[in-house]
Each structure stands twice: as structure tokens, then as C-alpha cells.
Amino acid sequence: MIRVSALYANQAGARFDHVYYAQRHIALVRERLTPHGLLRVEADRGLAGGGGGEAPFVAAAHLYFASVEHFEAAFAAAGAAVLADVPNYTDLQPQLQISAIVVEA
């Protein structure tokens, strides 16, 4: 299993609508990508960094797929609609990371 993380860096003056993100964007992600292999999605809101400082990321989404190939196929089929929605909740560009899940507890 793999996890695709979309990370939104905490930048001064940036706009991020957490309500829209949680209620509408993640619903769109689920609707568009589940038919193409999305297994699970999680959304986070950054609260704090280590030592009590500001969170390095204002938000993150974690999408789970069986493999990188499943993610690539899903994004090829429906990624344009997901990306087109980004300006509705933020002016930040998400940083993507694809990770192999090596331990599940």
C-alpha cells in the first residue's frame, strides 16, 4: 500500500479555507478518485510544530492506494477536476510526497 500526501506549507499571508477543504474538497477527492482505486483519504489541520512553535504545514491530505500505478491511473483519469478545485480553498501550491507504508500498527 502507498500513501500520497499533499502538504500545504504554512506561509504568512496565505489563504486557506479549512471548512471548504474538509467539507467540499475532500468529498470531491473521494467522489472522483474512489472509482479509480482510492482506498482511504484523511485530512489534517496543522496545530503546532515541535517545541510549541507554529505548524510547518497548515493542512495535509493523505490518500491511500494499492500501488503507485493505481495512484497514477486514478490521477490520470480524474486528477484534473481535483486540481481545478484547489483555488477554491487556497492560494498555496501543495507539495506531494508518495510513500510506501512499511509498518502498520
CATH number for the domain that contains residue 66: 3.30.70.100
Tell me how far apart the alpha carbons of residues 49 and 100 are, in angstroms, rounded to a whole number: 24
pLDDT tens per residue across span 18-32: 999 999 999 999 999
CB distance 88 to 24 below 8 Å: yes
Residue numbers of the domain that contains 66: 2-100
Confidence at 43, pLDDT banded by 50, 70, 90: very high
Q: What is the count of structural domains for the chain?
A: 1
Q: Note whether residue 7 is domain-resident.
A: yes
Q: What is the mean pLDDT of residues 45-55?
A: 92
Q: Is 35 part of any domain? A: yes
- DSSP class per residue in 42-105: EEEE----GGG---SEEEEEEEEES-HHHHHHHHHHHHHHHHHTGGGTBSSPPEEEEEE-----
105 is a domain residue:
no
Residue 63 in domain: yes
Residue 97 pLDDT? 98
Residue 98 dihedral angles phi and psi, to the nearest 5°? -105, 125
